[in-house]
C-alpha cells in the first residue's frame, strides 16, 4: 500500500514538473513585446495621458516579474514623466486565474516635471472639465513601492518659482488607495521612508533630506525630518493635511550652529557677516482658495547668534560719529534685523551688503544678536529684534505685512542703558520701494548720507523715559 502511494506521489510530482517545465518553455518562446502597443493604449486610456514604451518588455522568473525600459508620459505634447525602467512583480497564480495582482513596483531613475499654470491647473490635469459622475470607485493595494535615483522639478508659472529635488529615493509599504476619484490624496494610506540628496530653490540649497513617512486619510506626516542646511544640521517634523478642501501645511524646524555666511548666500546677498547661530521655525500655512498663500501663514520664526563679525563697517565708530553729526541712516543698521529670517522677502529694495557698506571700511564685533518674529495671517511682528556691539545697543520694532509687501511702523533706535531710545528712525512703504523718513532707501544707500534724523526728538531726559526695548539683548558694559 505504501509502495502504491509512493508511486502515485512520484507520478503526480512528475506530471506537475512537466507542466511547470512546459509553462517555462512556453514563456521563453512567448514574445510579450507583441503586446506592447496594446499595453500603451490601455495605459493611456486609463490615465488620460499619452504613454509610450520605447524600450523592450522583459519577463523574469522566480519571482515572476515584468520590466519595461525607456517609458515616457506626456500631456498635450508636453512630457511630464520619463522612466529608465519600471519593474512589476506579479503573483503567478493570479495570472493563471486570468487576474493581475501586482505585489511590488519599482521605478528606476524617474524624471518628473510638475507645472502649475496661472490658473492653478497642473500639467497632468489639462483644462478639460472632468465629470465626477459615473466614475467607478475601486480600491487599490500595493504591498511595496520603490523609487530610486529620482529627479523632480516643480514650476509655478504664476510666481515663477522653480524647485528641484535631486536623487530622490523612496521606499513605501502597504500602499492603499480606497477611492480613485478626484481627491485621491484624501483616500490614501501608507508607511515608508524618503531620502533626497539635494533640494534647490534659487540660491537656497538643502542636502541630505531624510524622513520616515506615514499617510492616512489625506494627512501625511514626516517625522522625524532631518536635513543639512546653511552649513548645519536641521531637525524637525512636517505635516501636509490634504483631507479638507483647503490644505494645511505645518513645519517645525530647529537648526543649530548655522553658518551666517551660507545663510546670506542663500538669500542672494554678498558676504557681510560671519559666525554661527541658531534658527528656529514653527509655521502653519493654510491654503484659502485663490488667496495669496502668505495670508495663511501663522507661527514664529527666529534667528540668533553671538560673537559675530561684520566685515562691512565699524558700527561703534559710525554710531559714535552719528551722535555728534546725525548724518548716518539708522535703518542701515536695521537691515541686520530685517535681514534675519525674513530678509529674502522684505529686502527686495534694500541693498544689503552692497558696495555702499563696503566702502565704509572697518569691521565690527557683534556680541549678541536676535531677530524673533511672530506671524499671524501673513503679518509679521517684531517680538525681540536687537543687537549689541562692544559699546552700543540697537533695536527694532514694528510689523511687516508679508501679504501686501509693506513696512508697518518699523522703527530702528539707538538705546541707552535703560532701553530708551536716544535716537530713532522709521522705515515705511513697500518692500520694493521703501521710504526712510520720506527719503528712498535706494537713494540713501547709493549716494550721500542724508540728514534724516530730527535731533532731540527722542533725546532721553534725566529721570523718566519711554522704554523702547526690554528684550533679551543686554546693554554692553
Whether 364 contacts 315, CB under 8 Å? yes
String of DSSP letters for 6-21: HHHHHHHHHHHHHHHH
Give me the residues of the chain with pLDDT under 50, please: 1, 8, 14-15, 25-26, 29, 129-137, 352-359, 438-462
Model pLDDT, residue 138: 58
Whether 53 contacts 82, CB under 8 Å? no
Whether 440 contacts 431, CB under 8 Å? no
Exposed/middle/buried for residue 395 (C-beta within 10 Å: 0-12, 13-18, 19+) = buried
Reported as half-sphere exposure (CB side, CA atoms, 13 A), residue 447 has a value of: 8
Model pLDDT, residue 359: 45
pLDDT digits (tens, 9 = 90+) for 401-416: 988 888 898 888 889 9
Model pLDDT, residue 338: 67
Q: Is the peptide bond before 123 cis (omega within 30 degrees of 0)?
A: no
Model pLDDT, residue 445: 34
Model pLDDT, residue 446: 31
pLDDT digits (tens, 9 = 90+) for 184-243: 667 789 999 999 999 998 878 999 999 999 998 889 999 999 999 999 999 999 999 988
Measure the CA–CA gap between 236 and 216, rounded to whole angstroms.
20
Beta strands of 23-139 (E only): which ranges? 50-53, 57-60, 65-75, 78-90, 102-116
String of DSSP letters for 390-444: SS-EEEEEEEEETTTTEEEEEEEEEE-TTSBEEEEEEEEEESSSEEETTEEHHHH
Query: Strand, coil or helix: what is 436?
Result: strand
Whether 140 contacts 176, CB under 8 Å? yes
Model pLDDT, residue 180: 54
Whether 410 contacts 398, CB under 8 Å? yes
Q: What is the grid cell recorded at 215?
A: 499617510
Model pLDDT, residue 302: 92
How many other C-beta atoms can be found within 10 angstroms of the C-beta atom of residue 444?
Answer: 21
Measure the CA–CA gap between 170 and 211, rounded to whole angstroms.
10
Sign of CA dihedral 242, 243, 245, 247: negative
Amino acid at each position: 500500500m505504501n509502495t502504491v502511494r509512493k508511486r502515485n506521489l512520484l507520478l503526480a510530482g512528475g506530471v506537475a514538473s512537466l507542466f511547470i517545465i512546459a509553462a517555462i518553455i512556453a514563456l521563453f518562446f512567448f514574445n510579450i513585446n507583441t503586446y506592447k502597443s496594446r499595453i500603451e493604449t490601455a495605459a493611456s486610456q486609463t490615465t488620460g495621458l499619452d504613454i509610450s514604451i520605447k524600450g523592450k518588455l522583459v519577463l523574469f522568473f522566480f519571482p515572476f516579474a515584468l520590466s519595461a525600459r525607456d517609458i515616457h508620459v506626456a500631456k498635450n505634447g508636453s512630457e511630464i514623466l520619463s522612466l529608465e525602467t519600471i519593474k512589476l512583480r506579479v503573483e503567478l497564480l493570479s495570472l493563471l486565474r486570468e487576474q493581475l495582482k501586482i505585489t511590488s513596483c519599482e521605478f528606476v531613475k524617474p524624471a518628473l516635471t510638475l507645472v502649475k499654470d496661472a490658473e492653478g491647473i497642473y500639467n497632468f490635469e489639462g483644462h478639460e472639465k472632468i465629470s465626477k459622475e459615473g466614475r467607478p470607485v475601486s480600491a487599490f493595494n500595493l504591498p511595496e513601492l520603490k523609487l530610486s535615483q529620482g529627479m523632480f522639478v516643480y514650476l509655478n508659472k504664476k510666481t515663477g518659482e522653480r524647485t528641484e529635488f535631486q536623487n530622490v529615493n523612496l521606499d513605501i509599504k502597504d500602499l492603499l488607495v480606497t477611492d480613485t476619484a478626484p481627491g485621491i490624496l484624501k483616500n490614501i494610506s501608507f508607511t515608508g521612508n524618503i531620502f533626497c540628496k539635494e533640494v534647490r530653490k534659487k540660491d537656497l540649497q538643502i542636502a541630505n533630506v531624510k524622513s520616515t513617512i506615514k499617510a492616512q486619510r489625506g494627512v501625511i506626516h514626516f517625522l522625524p525630518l532631518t536635513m543639512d542646511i546653511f552649513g548645519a544640521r536641521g531637525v524637525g517634523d512636517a505635516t501636509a493635511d490634504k483631507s479638507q478642501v483647503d490644505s494645511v501645511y505645518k513645519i517645525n524646524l530647529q537648526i543649530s550652529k548655522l553658518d551666517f555666511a551660507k545663510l546670506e548666500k542663500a538669500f542672494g546677498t554678498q558676504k557681510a557677516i560671519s559666525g554661527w547661530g541658531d534658527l528656529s521655525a514653527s509655521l502653519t500655512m493654510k491654503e484659502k482658495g485663490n488667496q495669496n498663500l502668505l495670508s495663511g501663514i501663522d507661527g514664529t520664526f527666529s534667528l540668533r547668534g553671538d560673537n559675530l563679525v561684520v566685515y562691512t563697517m565699524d558700527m561703534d565708530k559710525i554710531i559714535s560719529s552719528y551722535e555728534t553729526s546725525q548724518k548716518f541712516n539708522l535703518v542701515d543698521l536695521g537691515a541686520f534685523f530685517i535681514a534675519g529670517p525674513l530678509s529674502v522677502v522684505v529686502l527686495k529694495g534694500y541693498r544689503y551688503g552692497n558696495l555702499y557698506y563696503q566702502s565704509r571700511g572697518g569691521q565690527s564685533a557683534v556680541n549678541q544678536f536676535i531677530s524673533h518674529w511672530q506671524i499671524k495671517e501673513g503679518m509679521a511682528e517684531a517680538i525681540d529684534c536687537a543687537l549689541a556691539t562692544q559699546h552700543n545697543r540697537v533695536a527694532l520694532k514694528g510689523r511687516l505685512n508679508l501679504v501686501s509687501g509693506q513696512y508697518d511702523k518699523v522703527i530702528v533706535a539707538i538705546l541707552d542703558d535703560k532701553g530708551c531710545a536716544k535716537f530713532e528712525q522709521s522705515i515705511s512703504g513697500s518692500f520694493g520701494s521703501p521710504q526712510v523718513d520720506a527719503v528712498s532707501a535706494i537713494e540713501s544707500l547709493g549716494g550721500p548720507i542724508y540728514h534724516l534724523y530730527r535731533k532731540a526728538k527722542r533725546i532721553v531726559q534725566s529721570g523718566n523715559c519711554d522704554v523702547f526695548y526690554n528684550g533679551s539683548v543686554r546693554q554692553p558694559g
